[in-house]
Amino acid sequence: MSWKEILSTDVTSVDRQHQLLIETAHDFFVRIHDGLSRGEMVVGLDQLITLVSEHFDHEERVMRNIALPDLATHAHLHRSLLEEIREFREEVAMGTNQRSAADIEHFLNVWLYRHIVEEDVKISLHLNRP
């Protein structure tokens, strides 16, 4: 996954964070394919979880400031997404994860991309409404 202008929310700080998340995820995927130990994978997932959590907090503040409708629903999605990746992290930490490197990359790419494209672009739509 790489940054594309179609992912823009028209909020510079949010877009920069999205770019950082995409870059960090990409670097993590490269390292996964190079062969990470379980411990190294847990550390990488912890780093992603921290970035995502901080990003969600920032994004929700922006949404409150612009009075984005359905903020509660969006915040609920954030909590659900974080819970999903935390569960995945626990599977990896416990050694119960049976996913391949490609499966992990697909899971995280779909998770990140889908959220930006389906949910975060609503910020841009709200800001640019007539």
DSSP string across 30-73 = HHHHHH--HHHHHHHHHHHHHHHHHHHHHHHHHHHHTT-TTHHH
**pLDDT at residue 58, as a whole number:** 96
Residue 90 or residue 111, greater confidence:
90
Other CB atoms within 10 Å distance of the CB of residue 28: 21
Q: Is the pLDDT of residue 20 over 90?
A: yes
Closest CA relative to residue 61, chosen from 11, 106, 96: 11
Per the domain annotation, does 4 fall within a domain? no
CA distance 101 to 15: 27
CA distance 130 to 115: 24
Per the domain annotation, does 85 fall within a domain? yes
pLDDT tens figures, 67-87: 999 899 999 999 998 998 898
> 109: domain range?
15-127
The tally of domains found in the chain comes to: 1
Give 17's DSSP letter: H
**pLDDT at residue 34, as a whole number:** 87
Please count the CA atoms within 13 angstroms of the CA of 15 that sit on its side-chain side. 14
Q: Is the pLDDT of residue 103 over 80?
A: no
CA distance 76 to 66: 18
Helix then strand count (H, E) for the chain reads: 5, 0
Instruction: CATH number of the domain at 58, please.
Output: 1.20.120.50
Q: Is the pLDDT of residue 16 over 90?
A: yes
Per the domain annotation, does 111 fall within a domain? yes
Threshold 0.95, pTM exceeds: no
pLDDT grade for 40, boundaries at 50, 70 and 90: very high
